[in-house]
Amino acid sequence: MNNKTIFQVVLILLLLGGAIYFVAQFFKPGPIQILCDIHPPRPLRGNNNSNSSENPPKFAIAFGFDQEYKLTSLKVVALDEWMTNKEAHPLWHLVSETNSVPTKAFLYGMRIQGMHAAIKGTRAETLQTNVTYRLLVKVGSRGGECDFKVPALPQPAR
């Protein structure tokens, strides 16, 4: 074989390898798309008790996905702590071994069918206002994340 033939064979092999790599990357699933929606608290009707200032209503934090997923892990951590320590204390951590139900949306702290607390007996901790948090979701080997911040409650007019 002469140099021209060797060059052509190498070129064809490189082009074929590049095409295979491109096609494999094209069909590789991307990250999970997560939407975060923070709903302001609703005022309670007919409740003019002084207790309402002691226990103000909390924001409802809803998360949604682009499609239904069988979640294997779900974790909420403080973003500042997470950036310096990937083993940061989770404020809410659910896991599923095998029987997670396909989920498209959920609220912070709610029970998700087929999932349980990573540490038995723990519940979602109360989120602080004006702190940025990160939701980390795993579905098998795929993952997704969403940053969110709970705003401060507006002060009632006096």
Q: In this predicted model, what pLDDT tens digit does every residue of 106-124 receive, in sequence order?
A: 999 988 888 999 888 888 8
pLDDT value at position 23? 79
Q: Strand 116-117 to strand 60-69: parallel, antiparallel, or no bridges (unpaired)?
A: unpaired
Q: Residue 63: pLDDT above 90?
A: yes
Question: Which residues lie below 8 Å from residue 44, measured CB to CB, with a gap of 6+?
Answer: 52, 57
pLDDT greater at residue 53 or residue 93:
93
* Residue linked to tokens 């969110």: 148
**pLDDT, tens digit, 9 for 90 and up, residues 9-57:** 999 999 998 888 877 777 777 788 898 888 877 766 655 554 545 555 6
The mean pLDDT of the chain is 83
pLDDT value at position 30? 74
Q: How many CB atoms lie within 10 A of CB 27?
A: 6
What does the chain come to in residues? 158
